[in-house]
Amino acid sequence: MTVTDAPPLEHGVSRIKINRIGLWLFFLSEAMLFAGLIAIRFSLLGTEVDEAVSQSIGLVITVILLASSYTAFRAEHAAHKGDQAAMVQYLWATLILGTIFLGGVAFEWYEAFMEFPPGTAFGTVFFTMTGIHAFHVITGLIFLTVLIRNAKAGRYADDSWPVEAGVKYWHFVDIVWVFFYPVLYLI
Amino acid sequence: MRESPGFTAIVVLSVLTVIEYFVSAEAVAGAFFWLLIISIAKAAIILVAFMHLRNIFGNEHS
């Protein structure tokens, strides 16, 4: 039995509805963590940004992460339509774009260690914020890898909820970066 | 030509990101305010177009 086919729970509430609400509550709790990090950034640094931070790298990796959200969306769309082949292709594209984003962050870290080491105020903020975000990207990449493996085995032919959940998590990580990018690179 | 789902959203997101970059690079007056507005707009686009925020309480596929 799949999540979508499961019989309604008490009061006619379906399993898929419960799953979705649970996922969004998880996002809400995570959002508080990231909002706290942004608050710490302004508390420590005001509205200043270290001039050594590479704005061009920031712009490029931001566009790459946004593009990965589009391919993730297409993967979910294909999953709901039952197009398994397209779903796997778009999941692969998302995985590759996410890995490139992570490579960009790693390169930025390499330069940042020399320009503003973790001991400085901006370095502390920069490495904490990008580090925690990168950890979420890595977990998203692991999730995508599991989805691809299972999709190839045909496990989502009748139940696309796991794909929907994984993709929504990826979008959430993207939204966090939408706020981190100006806070770390532009303001 | 039939447009693929989500294509408009990703184009608007990319354009907003480039605008964001230039607002900062050109030190536009009130840059902080404009960057905040653009970030909220981008998050809203992802929430509505990609994450189907309006379908949280629905049973159907998003």
How high is the pLDDT of residue A43?
A: 92
A113, A119 contact by CB (below 8 A): no
Buried b / exposed e over A98-113, threshold 16 CB at 10 Å, is bbbbbebbeebeeebe
ipTM (interface pTM): 0.88
**Six-digit token pair at B29?**
């007056």
CA-to-CA dists, residue A136 to A52, A121, A129, angstroms: 25, 23, 11
* Domain-located, residue A10: no
A173, A34 contact by CB (below 8 A): no
How high is the pLDDT of residue A56?
A: 87
Average pLDDT over chain B reads: 86
How high is the pLDDT of residue A180?
A: 95
Query: Residue B26: pLDDT band by 50, 70, 90 thresholds?
Result: confident
A167, A73 contact by CB (below 8 A): yes
Domain extent, residue A118, equals: 15-186
Question: Domain tally for chain A?
Answer: 1
CA distance B59 to B62: 9
Cβ-based contacts of A77 with chain B (< 8 Å): 5-6
Could you tell me the pTM of the whole model? Answer: 0.90
Q: What is the DSSP string of B15-34?
A: HHHHHHHHHHHTT-TTHHHH
**Residue A112: alpha-carbon gap to chain centroid:** 22
What's the pLDDT tens digit per position in A12-48? 567 888 889 999 999 999 999 999 999 999 999 888 7
How high is the pLDDT of residue A55?
A: 85
* Domain-located, residue A56: yes
Pick from A47, A62, A73: which is nearest to B50 by CB? A73
* Domain-located, residue A61: yes
* Domain-located, residue A92: yes
CA distance A160 to A16: 11
Average pLDDT over chain A reads: 90
CA distance A74 to A66: 13
A72, A94 contact by CB (below 8 A): yes
CA distance B39 to B43: 6
Return the CATH number at A71: 1.20.120.80
**Six-digit token pair at A5?**
């086919």
**Residue A166: alpha-carbon gap to chain centroid:** 9
How high is the pLDDT of residue A116?
A: 84
Query: Residue A2: pLDDT band by 50, 70, 90 thresholds?
Result: low
Report the pLDDT averaged over residues B17-24: 92
Pick from B17, B43, B46: which is nearest to A62 by CB? B17
* Domain-located, residue A120: yes
* Domain-located, residue A6: no
What's the pLDDT tens digit per position in A69-91? 999 999 999 999 989 999 999 99
How high is the pLDDT of residue A9?
A: 60
The DSSP call for residue A186 is: I
Which of A1-10, A106-115, B11-20, B49-58 is least confident? A1-10
How high is the pLDDT of residue A1?
A: 53
Query: Residue B30: pLDDT band by 50, 70, 90 thresholds?
Result: confident
A interface residues, B as partner, C-beta within 8 Å: 4, 14, 16-17, 20-21, 24, 47, 55, 59, 62-63, 66-67, 69-70, 72-74, 76-77, 80, 160, 164, 168, 171-172, 174-175, 178-179, 181-182, 185-187
CA distance A186 to A54: 10
φ, ψ of residue A166 in degrees (nearest 5): -60, -40
How high is the pLDDT of residue A174?
A: 96
Query: Residue B54: pLDDT band by 50, 70, 90 thresholds?
Result: confident
**Residue A70: alpha-carbon gap to chain centroid:** 12
* Domain-located, residue A132: yes
CA distance B38 to A21: 27
The DSSP call for residue A184 is: I
